[in-house]
Structure 1
Amino acid sequence: MMNKKRLAMAVALSAISAQAYGLELGEFGGANLSIGGYVKAEGIFTNPDDGERSFDASARQSRINFKVDKEVQGHSVTAFIEGDFWDNATDANDTSYAMRLRHAYFQVDNLTLGQTWSGQFYANAPFDVEILDFYGTGVGSVSGSGAVARPDLVIHYTTGGFRISLQDPVYRDADYPDMVASYTYRTESGHAFNAAVTGREVETGIDDSKFGAAFSLAAKLNFGDTALALSGYTGKGNNVYSGWGYNGATNPISMAASGEVNADGDLVSTTGLSAGLSHRFNEQFRGNIRYAQVEADEVAPTVADDTLKMMNVNLIYTYLPNLDIGIEWRDRNATTMPLRSGGQQVELMAMYKF
């Protein structure tokens, strides 16, 4: 039973980062060096609610990372750097395929400093189910826009189950960092729970700024080969991270499109939820179902719906160790940033992790 629980957790974590994988290159100068990442080929059939059907195939999501671990004067020191080939995540038909920086951080004992996942991401993603949509991970949660709202610099400090995060603010003229405080509790039976609160300075476009805060709960309940994931959040000032607001899908690049305030400069509240079920049929075959939605209490007249809804269903087959083949059907009722239009998609993918 314990092996199954560990396997379920490993599957969940593999969906959010390639950091769990790595090839040990050996010890050099007292440091352990490893290389990791994956090569992923995907083909996506899109049937949008508005517009023509299309098909796009790419290997741009493939990534590579390097990790160095060393013991220095009794302290555990880690350096990690990772890149993929999405450049600035521009048009899917852009053939530049330039490499971009995903992670570049170092960790000394319990302190992490650099560019890496946000505190919102850690408050939700480890407790979610596995989906294939590169730009859909976390929809409905406090970290729903994690694919496009990644701070340039983050400080994480962890002690016990607590994590305190100070982040480069999305609002460039903010007087203080974006902040996240969370606590994770794990049981011996394999269940996990997280509570988090966020706080940040929000640009209004009218006044200088206002303070917004949100509260999140997430849980992962493991029952042998089956796991149930639940999350919910509510608050103001988190719209750019959760990905939905006054203007519909939020865009962290443009304050006017961030959707965090209405036409009068007042903060807009959002409330999100997600529920997912994963099941491992055998050692090679697993599947996931996930539903999510996030609702804004006020939207612009040009936005057709105040609620973003999304469904994902996938099956994944491990053909060889670390080589997965998968298919996913997904549907959303509105466009999400930056490349997913409202409507249905089917993704076929093959991924080799190393």
Structure 2
Amino acid sequence: MWNNKKKASLGGLTAMALAMGTTSALALESQVGETTVGLYGYARLNMAYSFDQDAGSANEGYFGDIERSEDKVGDQFQASATQSRIGFRTSTPVEGSTLYTVIEGDFWSYNDDNSRFRLRHAYGSWNGILAGQTWSNYNTFVAATPTLDFLGTAGSNGYGSRLAQLRYTMGGFSIAAEDPKAQLAENIDGSVPEDDLLPDNDDAVSSMPALSLRYEDSMGDFSYSIAGIARQLKYDTGSEKDTEMGYGAFAAGAYHAGPVTLRAIVNASEGANSYLYLSGDYFNGADAYVDTNGKLQTLSGDGGALGLSYQISPQYSLNASHGYTDVELGDPTVGGNAGRKNKNTFLNLMWTPNERLMYGIEYGYFETELADGREEDASRVMVAAQYSF
């Protein structure tokens, strides 16, 4: 933990813990003048066995791989250590407040096919002002039930990853200007001549940041988070252009009753499915498409998740979660991440004989329904071992 003699505020500690995940309390620390320096991270092994169809990589399941499973066999074993992580952090008293800095990375990549050091967090925070890259302000961990699967339960977050941003936090309230994320669906059925294809994601541009608001707090055994986001959707080919606005909102809650924790979240979006967690093939869904008149048409989406955790003993915990997302079709000539319904369910047992050690086993079930009505599903078993420092 951070040295209490540094007088770090509770709000700052909470923000740091959320930013760095479950290893934040396990840092190796030293004192350099007035600055506390910490090194933290973990080494992790994931192993997965897919039964009937390919369900993704050793680290997580992908709805996109399940969709294309007719070309990929099941009965498949995979192993990976690329989720392993390392981070560096500091805290320094500056002008009556505490300056925090964090730089963190891992070796993860989609489908585990391009291992390299990947930047996760790189930011500074002082006096309520945060600048850099960290979890999107349009995000929460209140409804995130623990999974061994690296991506976790569909619909359980907002954006669900990290973005470059400028954020101001005061108590439980935070406002941010973030790197905007937009995804335009494409024409797929051949109704438009190849020489006259409609604009797609390659033509998407942004001329303003995404603006997000969030309030997160707790009352006794109940914790909650509510958030909203507004972002611009725009394309420009040089000869054609159009602009629309997209909006999203979520509400999440968790109730702790002795050894049992219940969690839930609901999400809604209009032209902001890039912020609807795991609503696409490999991450989030499409926000809009360009029709034959050159107009942007926004896509609606919704999602939600339920979870339950039971602390069997101080060392053993049982976790179950189910989530779904639904991005509307909008137009039969539009495909990609439009018109997709995703669901996944997890059941796991985690053993933590020490705060630095975790072993677990998990069953995961994935189901995706495409715009043409085709449905595909897959199931897998995953085991993991994690050693933290």
Distance apart, 1:243 and its partner CA: 4.4
Find the counterpart in structure 1 of residue 11 from structure 2.
none
Q: Secondary structure of 2:138's partner? A: helix
| Corresponding position of 1:154 | 165
Whether the 8 Å contact between 1:276 and 1:288 is mirrored in structure 2 is yes
Of all paired residues, the percent bearing the same amino acid is 27
Distance 1:140 1:284 in 2: 28
Aligned-partner Cα distance in 1 for 2:29–2:224: 36
SS at match of 1:130: coil
Match of residue 321 from structure 2: 290
Question: Which residue of the partner structure matches residue 41 of structure 1?
Answer: 45
- State yes or no: 1:218 paired with 2:233: no
- The question of whether the paired residues in 2 share the 8 Å contact of 1:220 and 1:229 is answered with yes
Question: Normalization by structure 2: what TM-score?
Answer: 0.75
- Structure 2 equivalent of residue 314 of structure 1: 348
Q: Residue 173 of structure 1 is aligned with which of 188, 201, 205?
A: 205
- Counterpart amino acid of residue 386 in structure 2: M
The worse-fitting range, judged by mean Cα deviation, of 56-65 and 155-164 is: 155-164
* TM-score normalised over the length of structure 1: 0.82
Alignment match of 1:79 (pick from 71, 86, 101): 101
Shift of 1:241: 2.3
1:103-144: CA deviation from partner (whole Å, max 9, x where unpaired): 0101102111111110122xx22332111111235x21452x
Question: 2 CA distance for matches of 1:310 and 1:107?
Answer: 35
1:248-267 to structure 2, matched below 5 A, reads 248-249=280-281, 259-262=286-289, 264=291, 265-267=296-298
Change (3 A) 1:342 1:108: farther
Larger radius of gyration: 2
Matching residue of 1:52: 73
| Structure 2 residues without counterparts, runs of 5 or longer | 1-13, 54-65, 183-203, 371-375
1:261/1:224 CA distance change after superposition, 3 Å: same
> Matches of residues 128-143 of structure 1 in structure 2 within 5 Å?
128-137=144-153, 139-143=154-158
Q: Please report how far the alpha carbon of residue 237 of structure 1 lies from its aligned counterpart in structure 2 after TM superposition.
A: 2.6
Q: CA deviation at 1:250?
A: 6.3
Q: Structure 1 stretches of 5 or more lacking a match?
A: 1-9, 253-257
- The two structures, once aligned, show a CA RMSD in angstroms of 2.7
Would you say the 8 A contact 2:328–2:339 is kept in 1?
A: no
Deviations 1:313-354 (A, max 9, x none): 111011333201001111111299xxxx95112110001122
One-letter amino acid matched to 1:79: T
Cα distance change of structure 1 residues 27 and 335 upon mapping to structure 2, 3 Å threshold: farther
Extract structure 1 runs of 4+ deviating beyond 3 A.
13-16, 203-207, 299-306
Contact 1:197 1:215 in 2 (8 A): yes
The Cα of 1:17 is off from its aligned counterpart by 1.4
Aligned to 1:216, the other structure's residue is in SS state: strand
| SS of equivalent residue, structure 2 residue 135 | coil
Check whether the contact 1:156–1:165 (CA below 8 A) recurs between aligned residues. Answer: yes
Q: Distance between the aligned counterparts of 1:156 and 1:15, measured in 2? A: 13
Letter in 2 for 1:131: T
Task: Kindly tell me the number of residue pairs found equivalent between the two proteins.
Answer: 320
Q: Against the structure 1 CA distance between its residues 33 and 183, is the aligned structure 2 distance closer, same or farther, given a 3 Å change threshold?
A: same
